[in-house]
Amino acid sequence: MEIKFDKDFIFGAATSSYQIEGAWDKDGKGPSIWDVFTHQKGNIRNNDTGDTACAHYEKYREDIGLMKELNLKSYRFSINWPRVFPQGRGGINPKGLEFYDNLVDGLIAAGIEPNITLYHWELPQALHNEGGWESRETIDDFAEYAAFMFEHFRGRVKLWSTFNEPYVVANLGYRMGIFAPGIKDPQKALQVSHHLNVAHAKAVAVFRKKKIQGKIGIVHCMSPVQKMDNTLSCAENAEMVDGMFNKWFLEPSFKGSYPERIMDVIKKEGMELHAEKNDMESIKENRADWLGINYYFRTRVFDTPGGSGGFDWKKSVNIKPVEGALYTEMGWEVYPEGIYEILKDVNKNYKIPELYIAENGAAMKDAVIDENGIVCDDDRLEYIMSHLENCKKAIDEGVPLKGYYYWSLMDNFEWAHGYDPRFGIIRVDYDT
């Protein structure tokens, strides 16, 4: 099958620093909250850590070579904040910065456009010790870190994003406690989510003030929400899920306020969001130039047993498997139409000038079929083709989709799941 995209359409692949770099304490790098979290036994499957990961810190030249072989137009990666600022602020670690200089220059020399994410979850532990994302000071620290990076890569890097999946940072890190820093406190998660929004706005303001040539974006995980029952309670549940997952971070930026329904529930539960006077104006004024959507699955919502009131995620979201559907090794349903649905929804609701699929991919069994480590990757090829087909359909219907980044360039450390799930289009032999 052939699908034709415009010649300017960007085909890329994505990674993040903690998931591939390794060298967790090499050459003066400071620890991040993920180094500390993975070193505590019991937090990660098999007690895996990112200490070595894919050894990208040492092997980045070879990795660029592989990207070239793949004909990638662009590579989306993140900067490990404490590799450059071991304490989060203040003194720079020249060796850490040199690594990113070499990576960026190597990519440019190979004709691959760098797309940098400033924060894919590695808060410097030193800042966490002072309050981390619970504290407004971290907002200023982030803006300073961003300012330094923008200036340093001025003219070399044109595509930037501030945060990857702030939903995950706040909810998995501070509410459920299954990601670093392992906190289980809904009030803290709420406050952190607001601070992330303010930090994003502040970094965007810096980007514009400095007149950096290029575009600044943000990346959210998103999922089309589908009502599976024709009842009031199902409709209410769907509104909650959509509000929490899709709208919480987008509405402040693109509409100027948090979703009303969620704010009501927050109040009812006795929680409070502390915002300073100009926060909401600043978030709206400093909205991103582009939005990256990470799409992996749809969200099927059912009614609450017993009727309305009392939404419970575990009892009404994706509770029944879809008969005949394929599921990835993450247990996520393969639903390619969802990428089209979410692109159409976002375009209708927010009219953002440029959209990217910043991540889309699947963890597959990836059985090795010969002594050269070759994997028969038919399922993954089918996955990618069917999702691209749906991207094209959205483009043909007027959605300003400018690129698609596969997640991930190579197998890597899949957070709480350790190294078991393999998402890569390149297989990694972790023993060597």
Give the binding site for ligand IFM (CB under 6 A).
16, 19, 165, 294, 359, 407, 414
Q: Which is nearer to ligand IFM, 93 or 115 (CB)?
A: 115
What minimum distance in Å lies between the beta carbon of 355 and ligand IFM? 17
Q: Which residues are catalytic?
A: 165, 359
The angle subtended at Cα 193 by Cα 301 and Cα 340, nearest 5°, is: 45
Nearer to ligand IFM, 236 or 359 (CB): 359
Least distance in Å: CB of 18 to ligand IFM? 8
Q: From the CB of 53, what's the least distance to ligand IFM, in Å?
A: 12
In this complex, which beta carbon is closest to ligand IFM, that of residue 139 or of residue 357? 357
Backbone angles phi, psi at 140, to 5 degrees: -65, -40
Element spanning 209, H or E: helix 186-209
- Nearer to ligand IFM by Cβ, of 224 and 286: the residue is 224
Q: Which two tokens stand for residue 189?
A: 């998660």
CB of 303 to ligand IFM, least distance (A): 28
Query: In the structure encoding, which two tokens stand for residue 171, read together?
Result: 């909810």
Q: Which is nearer to ligand IFM, 189 or 206 (CB)?
A: 189
d(CA 360, CA 355): 14
Nearest to 120 by CA among 212, 14, 248, 225: 14
For the chain, how big is the Rg over CA atoms in Å?
Answer: 21
- Sign of dihedral through CA atoms 95, 67, 362, 245? positive
Complete DSSP assignment for 156-173: T--EEEEEE-HHHHHIII
Taking the complex as a whole, the smallest distance from the CB of residue 34 to ligand IFM amounts, in Å, to 11
To the nearest whole angstrom, how small is the minimum distance from the Cβ of residue 232 to ligand IFM?
33
b vs e for 360-370, b when ≥16 Cβ sit within 10 Å of the residue's Cβ? Answer: bbbbbebeeee
Pick 143 or 159: Cβ nearer ligand IFM: 159
State the Cα–Cα distance between residues 235 and 243, nearest whole angstrom.
12
Query: Partners of 77 in the beta sheet?
Result: 116
Can you tell me the distance from the alpha carbon of 164 to that of 219, in angstroms, rounded to the nearest whole number? 5
Best CA proximity match to 96, nearest among 153, 35, 28: 28
Q: What are phi and psi of 101, to 5 degrees?
A: -60, -50
